[in-house]
Amino acid sequence: MASQRNGRFLEAADYVRKGAPPDSEHAQTSEAEIARQVRRLLKWSGQTGCLIPPNRFRALILVSNDTSEHTVYYDTDQNRAVKVTFPGEFGWKPTLEKGRWNLGVAAPLDYLRRWRLFNEVFGDDVRLEGVALSKGPVMALCSKVEPMSAVISQPWHEAADPNSPAPEDREIATFLRRLGCEPLPGPSAAGSELVTAWYYWTRFPTISSRPSLALYRLIC
């Protein structure tokens, strides 16, 4: 099942990866390389019929547009959450700077790999629906890229407790450790609320021998 769910993630990643530097999925990616990957992903979407018109989202219910990575919609027909990355952005990834973990800008390959691994490890059904172009501005750090968004969907789940829908940090930690996860070693950078939210990244040695290859963020 995981391989079937991940088929489009793998296909898109293989296409984008062609011509990429050997270590582009692990090191902090340059703005030029991010722009190259964006062009490749956009070309892939056009060739495979995965370029999504912006008006498609008008039929969906807007859930949130103030998350750290996505505008989130609810598709009532499919009972799925639809997540659209902010134009020109593909989320964040952990980077080790001077012995401290910090947030770094993710490239399309980082984003595609993260969600594929998310399916494999957590048994979810996240699907790459395609990409969408928009008229919105792109993030300042990657101002040279096209205003393109990655579009994914995953099953919609109602909160077990509507009065307290978000799990507490200790509950997240307990869940992760039951899966054999451990927090990244070493301190995280201080001075940002985002850093706290990014503390629980984990690696799975059975999937990758390099810790930087299998890092996850549960709160997306």
The structure's pTM equals 0.80
Q: Which of 42-46, 165-169, 215-219 has the highest mean pLDDT?
A: 42-46
- The tens digit of pLDDT for each residue in 117-139 reads 888 878 889 999 999 987 665 55
- The tens digit of pLDDT for each residue in 168-213 reads 878 877 887 787 666 666 655 544 433 333 334 444 444 443 333 3
Enter the tokens of residue 211: 């810790």
Task: Report the Cα 182 to chain-centroid distance in Å.
Answer: 20
pLDDT for 139: 56
Q: Where are the alpha helices (DSSP H) in the chain?
A: 2-5, 7-17, 31-48, 108-122, 169-178, 193-197
* Sign of torsion over alpha carbons 107, 218, 123, 182: positive
- Spatial distance between the Cα atoms of 201 and 94, rounded to a whole number of angstroms: 8
- Spatial distance between the Cα atoms of 25 and 28, rounded to a whole number of angstroms: 8
pLDDT for 149: 93
- The tens digit of pLDDT for each residue in 144-165 reads 667 889 999 999 988 888 888 8
Confidence bin at 54 (pLDDT 50/70/90) = confident
Which residues partner with 215 through β-bridges?
none
pLDDT average, residue stretch 61-73: 90
pLDDT for 23: 57
Asked if residues 121 and 179 have their Cβ atoms less than 8 Å apart, the reply is yes
